[in-house]
């Protein structure tokens, strides 16, 4: 019975995913982190529960705030017991799409300390490995396996952060140097960003370590090692099949957003206050873009922040986009969690176009 149920769930998940792709919506996965020692005393009560009905299983989340229950449904909900490998398993197909010639964008949104960096980068133990290193291993392994079918791949990596509305090149020998953005062919581009050819997993993991060392990290009341910037990881993939002369161009973009937080709850002053205000401004710009997309407005205000400039090609076209909304189970964060879940529900309703690649004898182009 159990294995039949699992098969049924798998089939249902695939059908649901196909429907969502046909609708061209942004998919949303929600992840709740476990309660931690830093959550302190007084956190015994739980404000989060998961509906058990067949339709809402693994997709629903309920949050109680000020005595009222708020229910949400997403493409997938991971509770506080989900392991990194369980989460990766759910996105491995999406990551593989980048090798097939799709533009893939995965980003993590949530309040500070809710587990975005843990989900994306992971922790020091092998079992804590995050989605970025997992995805890269998967991409290199799959590209080697495809060699038997005539495929040869070239990959180029770049990594940047947006800190206080300035763009810093995390792979540069001088990462404190601010990069410019320019507008060309209707899109925002980052000028002179370091782009490194990568041939194997070791090379890219070492670049990832370099970028992590260069990333701006500070301590806030809510998180001892808080990422105070938006981190953008980008892997361009060029594939050529020597047997049938097909060519593909895909990209995997992974973005670890800086944590949203009300200024009052962080007790921020000085530089930390300036950072928090810059983070909130750019996240508000993202919310405005999402709101315009959801209402199918003609004008979408992509140019109001560097973050939305960079996200524009993914939010305005035929990309496969997945957002993680990370949630803290701490009852004192209930208000912030409710805001994050409401934002995520809005994102989930956005239609951005049907992800597709065009194939002809010699090439596959983005539509
Ligand atoms: N699923 C999880 N399992 C175990 N520990 C977790 C999990 N998620 C987060 N943590 C821990 O919670 C703490 C905060 O997580 P993390 O730094 O990833 O938050 P964040 O959302 O990236 O915060 P910020 O926006 O401030 O950078 C870290 O110590 C991290 O190791």
Q: pLDDT for 27-63, tens place per residue?
A: 999 999 998 887 875 556 689 999 988 778 889 999 9
- C-alpha 9/C-alpha 11 separation (Å) is 5
- C-alpha 324/C-alpha 28 separation (Å) is 6
Q: What is the pLDDT of residue 317?
A: 72
Residue pointed to by tokens 């392994």: 141
Is 115's C-beta closer than 6 angstroms to any atom of ligand 1?
A: yes
Domains of the chain, residue spans: 2-366
Q: What is the pLDDT of residue 16?
A: 63
Q: What is the pLDDT of residue 358?
A: 41
Which residue's C-alpha comes closest to atom 8 of ligand 1? 115
**CA 109 to ligand 1 centroid distance, Å:** 12
CB 302, CB 312: distance < 8 Å: yes
Q: What is the pLDDT of residue 246?
A: 87
- C-alpha 171/C-alpha 195 separation (Å) is 8
Q: Measured between alpha carbons, how far apart are the two ends of the chain, in Å? A: 44
- The CA distances from residue 211 to 125, 137, 151, 303, 323, in Å, are 19, 18, 30, 26, 22
Q: Which of 108, 110, 111, 115 to mutate to test the pocket of ligand 1 (most atoms within 8 A of CB)?
A: 115
3-class secondary-structure state, position 83: coil
Q: What is the pLDDT of residue 356?
A: 58
In this structure, whether the domain defined by 2-366 belongs to CATH 3.40.850.10 is answered with yes
**CA 183 to ligand 1 centroid distance, Å:** 35
Q: Report residue 141: phi and psi, to 5°.
A: -60, -45
CB 186, CB 132: distance < 8 Å: no
**CA 260 to ligand 1 centroid distance, Å:** 14
Q: Which of 30, 31, 33, 34 to mutate to test the pocket of ligand 1 (most atoms within 8 A of CB)?
A: 33
Q: What is the pLDDT of residue 361?
A: 43
Which residue blocks in 188-269 are alpha helix, DSSP H?
A: 201-214, 263-266
Q: What is the pLDDT of residue 363?
A: 43
Residue pointed to by tokens 């594939």: 239
Q: What is the pLDDT of residue 73?
A: 94
Which residues is 107 bridged to in the sheet? 255, 323
Which residues are within 8 A (CB) of 275 and not within 5 positions of it... i.e. 6 or more apart?
163, 164, 218, 228, 258, 268
What string of pLDDT tens digits covers the 367 residues of the chain? 878 777 776 777 667 666 656 656 789 999 999 988 878 755 566 899 999 887 788 899 999 998 999 999 999 999 999 999 999 999 999 999 899 888 899 999 999 899 999 999 998 898 999 999 999 999 999 999 999 889 999 999 999 999 888 999 999 988 777 888 877 776 677 888 899 999 999 999 999 999 988 886 655 556 656 678 899 999 999 999 998 888 999 999 999 999 877 655 555 667 778 888 888 899 999 989 988 888 888 898 998 999 998 888 888 777 889 999 999 999 989 999 999 999 999 998 887 776 656 444 444 443 3
Question: Among candidates 103, 108, 89, which has minimal Cα distance to 30?
Answer: 108
């Amino acid at each position: 019975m159990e294995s039949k149920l699992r098969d049924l769930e798998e089939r249902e998940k695939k059908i649901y995913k196909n429907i969502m792709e046909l609708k061209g919506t942004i998919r949303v996965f929600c992840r709740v982190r476990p309660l931690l020692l830093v959550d302190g005393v007084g956190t015994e009560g739980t404000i989060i529960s998961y509906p058990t009905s067949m339709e809402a299983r693994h997709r629903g989340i309920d949050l109680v705030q000020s005595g009222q229950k708020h229910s949400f449904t997403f493409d997938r909900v991971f509770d506080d017991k989900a392991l990194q490998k369980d989460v990766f398993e759910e996105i491995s197909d999406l990551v593989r799409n980048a090798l097939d010639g799709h533009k893939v964008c995965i980003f993590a949104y949530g309040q500070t300390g809710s587990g975005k960096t843990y989900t994306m980068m992971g922790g020091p133990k092998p079992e804590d490995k995050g989605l970025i290193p997992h995805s890269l291993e998967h991409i290199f392994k799959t590209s080697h396996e495809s060699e038997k079918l005539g495929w040869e791949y070239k990959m180029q990596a770049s990594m940047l952060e947006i800190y206080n509305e300035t763009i810093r090149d995390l792979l540069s020998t001088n990462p404190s140097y601010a990069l410019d953005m320019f507008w060309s062919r209707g899109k925002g581009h980052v000028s002179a960003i370091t782009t490194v050819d990568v041939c194997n997993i070791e090379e890219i993991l070492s670049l990832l370590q370099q970028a992590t060392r260069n990333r701006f990290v500070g301590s806030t009341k809510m998180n001892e090692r808080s990422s105070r910037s938006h981190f953008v990881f980008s892997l361009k993939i060029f594939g050529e099949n020597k047997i049938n002369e097909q060519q593909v161009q895909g990209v995997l973009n992974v973005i670890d957003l800086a944590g949203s937080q009300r200024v009052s709850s962080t007790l921020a002053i000085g530089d930390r206050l300036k950072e928090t205000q810059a983070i909130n401004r750019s996240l508000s710009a993202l919310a405005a873009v999402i709101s315009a997309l959801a209402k199918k407005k003609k004008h979408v205000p992509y140019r109001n922040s560097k973050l939305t400039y960079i996200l524009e090609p993914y939010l305005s076209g035929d990309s496969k986009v997945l957002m993680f909304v990370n949630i803290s189970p701490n009852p004192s964060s209930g208000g912030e969690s409710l805001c994050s879940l409401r934002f995520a529900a809005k994102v989930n309703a956005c239609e951005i176009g049907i992800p597709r690649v065009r194939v002809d004898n010699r090439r596959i182009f983005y539509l």
